[in-house]
């Protein structure tokens, strides 16, 4: 089969590799339809972030069941999406279904070969069937959509809140959408990239360019000096971590969704405001696939291509054979990229009931 292989740091090669070994007796062979590039893939590919070489990256992917084991609830030809975390199912965290906190997990596209390949062997419990209304290319964004939802679900919400999201990239935009879906009256998206802000504005969000104005003062101005009830940090920068905290209202809630790059410090006066205003600061990590039906992934698939729109966030859909040049271009920021999704199987490129 063909795959995009990270041969060594900074070197990606497209070519023939062996078919994947069967993961377990209760695994299905998945023919990959589409796979998205995550920001963490840049770190793995160019900043010595890979656990090993060679490595097939890709942890955001959808596909079609090619082969199923006897007694499987899936059948060949069935469209699916893959939860990439492989828990040990033995530790204390796993016993409560908190697989993201597993003490000894495996991971597609990171610790083991992933979705930048024509085929992947996946245990049945890591598969989710795609509803008929979901475009299979869009489905490759289920994982980041679930990460955003998992974070937003940590807020205690009653409806009618004002929210601010620092970061207009795909994760920030999806967090903004979940905030609106869950009842926020007003959602403000903050970024320094006008192209990201135009996407957010076209989707009905208020936007602020932090390269032109002080975003904390701007949030204060649009909330009559009160601040935002809910603040989401989705950039991962020390500056925006602090701005998210400073933009929160009295008794406000702050969610740290971005993976921090750098050292975050806070002056005593700002920390005193956290105490005085009784702010709630929350961390979040990955997503949950239990309890079945109300888990993050099932909810994402119920809303995707309906109230939750990911198509405006997809800027490029190249072939996997273009992978090396695309990765280098994204890393060097040679042009504007929002979400890049490799279309790996042409026959599944579009849902036959939806051509957008």
CATH number at residue 204: 3.40.50.720
Q: Model confidence over 20-38: pLDDT tens digits? A: 999 999 999 999 999 999 9
Q: List, in order, residues 6 or more apart from 258 with CB less than 8 Å away.
A: 166, 167, 171, 233, 234, 235, 236, 237, 240, 241
Domain membership of residue 230 as a residue range: 155-283
Instruction: Give the pLDDT score at 347.
Output: 77
75 band by pLDDT with thresholds 50, 70 and 90? very high
Q: Model confidence over 258-278: pLDDT tens digits? A: 999 999 999 999 999 999 999
Q: Are residues 181 and 303 in the same domain?
A: no
- Would the pLDDT of 351 be above 90? no
Q: Model confidence over 30-62: pLDDT tens digits? A: 999 999 999 999 999 999 999 999 999 999 999
348 band by pLDDT with thresholds 50, 70 and 90? low
Choosing from 283, 312, 337, the residue where a domain stops is 283
311 falls within a domain = yes
* Sole residue written with tokens 């908190």: 98
336 falls within a domain = yes
pTM of the predicted model, to two decimals?
Answer: 0.96
Q: Are residues 87 and 134 in the same domain?
A: yes
- Would the pLDDT of 129 be above 90? yes
The Cα–Cα gap between 105 and 86 comes to 6
147 falls within a domain = no
Q: Are residues 128 and 163 in the same domain?
A: no
Q: Are residues 201 and 85 in the same domain?
A: no
Q: Are residues 233 and 292 in the same domain?
A: no
Higher pLDDT pick, 354 / 147: 147
Choosing from 283, 300, 322, the residue where a domain stops is 283
Q: Are residues 26 and 77 in the same domain?
A: yes
Q: Are residues 187 and 200 in the same domain?
A: yes
Q: Are residues 237 and 192 in the same domain?
A: yes
Q: Are residues 316 and 193 in the same domain?
A: no
20 falls within a domain = yes
Instruction: Give the pLDDT score at 354.
Output: 40
119 falls within a domain = yes
Instruction: Name the token pair of 323.
Output: 């992978």
Q: Are residues 21 and 137 in the same domain?
A: yes
Q: Model confidence over 212-263: pLDDT tens digits? A: 999 999 999 999 999 999 999 999 999 999 999 999 999 999 999 999 999 9
Number of domains in the chain: 2
150 falls within a domain = no
Q: Are residues 8 and 119 in the same domain?
A: yes
Choosing from 238, 258, 283, the residue where a domain stops is 283
- Would the pLDDT of 187 be above 50? yes
Q: Are residues 44 and 123 in the same domain?
A: yes
Q: Is the dihedral of CA 39, 292, 165, 131 positive or negative?
A: positive
* Sole residue written with tokens 């109230």: 307
- Would the pLDDT of 353 be above 70? no
25 falls within a domain = yes
CATH number at residue 94: 3.90.180.10
Instruction: Give the pLDDT score at 131.
Output: 98
Question: What SS3 state is found at 162?
Answer: strand
- pLDDT, average across residues 65-78: 98
346 band by pLDDT with thresholds 50, 70 and 90? confident
Instruction: Name the token pair of 15.
Output: 């070519």
Q: Is 103 exposed, middle or buried (0-12, 13-18, 19+ CB in 10 A)?
A: exposed
The Cα–Cα gap between 107 and 7 comes to 18
Mean pLDDT over all residues of the chain? 96
148 falls within a domain = no
């Amino acid at each position: 089969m063909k795959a995009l292989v990270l041969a060594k740091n900074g070197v990606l090669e497209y070519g023939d590799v062996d078919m994947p070994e069967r993961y377990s007796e209760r695994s299905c062979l998945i023919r990959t339809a589409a796979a998205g590039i995550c920001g963490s893939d840049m770190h793995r590919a160019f900043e010595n972030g890979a656990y090993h070489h060679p490595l097939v990256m890709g942890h955001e992917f959808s596909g079609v069941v090619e082969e199923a084991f006897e007694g499987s609830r899936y059948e060949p030809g069935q469209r699916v999406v893959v939860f990439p975390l492989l828990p040990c199912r033995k530790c204390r965290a796993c016993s409560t279904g908190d697989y993201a906190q597993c003490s000894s997990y495996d991971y597609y596209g990171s610790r083991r070969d992933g979705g930048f390949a024509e085929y992947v062997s996946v245990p049945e419990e890591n598969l989710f069937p795609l509803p008929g209304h979901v475009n299979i290319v869009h489905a490759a964004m289920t994982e980041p959509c679930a990460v955003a939802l998992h974070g937003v679900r940590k807020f205690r919400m009653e409806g009618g809140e004002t929210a601010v999201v620092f970061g207009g990239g795909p994760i920030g935009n999806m967090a903004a959408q979940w905030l609106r879906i869950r009842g926020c009256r007003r959602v403000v998206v903050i970024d320094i990239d006008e192209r990201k802000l135009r996407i957010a504005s076209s989707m009905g969000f208020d936007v602020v360019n932090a390269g032109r104005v002080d975003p904390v003062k701007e949030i204060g101005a649009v909330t009559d000096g009160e601040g935002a009830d809910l603040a989401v940090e989705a950039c991962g920068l020390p500056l925006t971590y602090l701005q998210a905290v400073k933009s929160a209202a009295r008794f406000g809630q702050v969610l740290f969704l971005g993976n921090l790059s750098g050292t975050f410090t806070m002056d005593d006066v700002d920390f005193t405001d956290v105490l005085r205003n009784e702010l709630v600061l929350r961390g979040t990590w990955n997503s949950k696939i239990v309890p079945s039906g109300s888990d993050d992934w099932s909810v994402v698939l119920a809303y995707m291509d309906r109230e939750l729109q990911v198509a405006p966030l997809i800027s490029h859909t190249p072939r996997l054979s273009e992978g090396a040049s695309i990765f280098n271009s994204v890393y060097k920021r040679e042009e504007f990229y929002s979400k890049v999704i490799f279309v790996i199987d042409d026959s599944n490129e579009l849902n036959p009931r939806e051509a957008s």
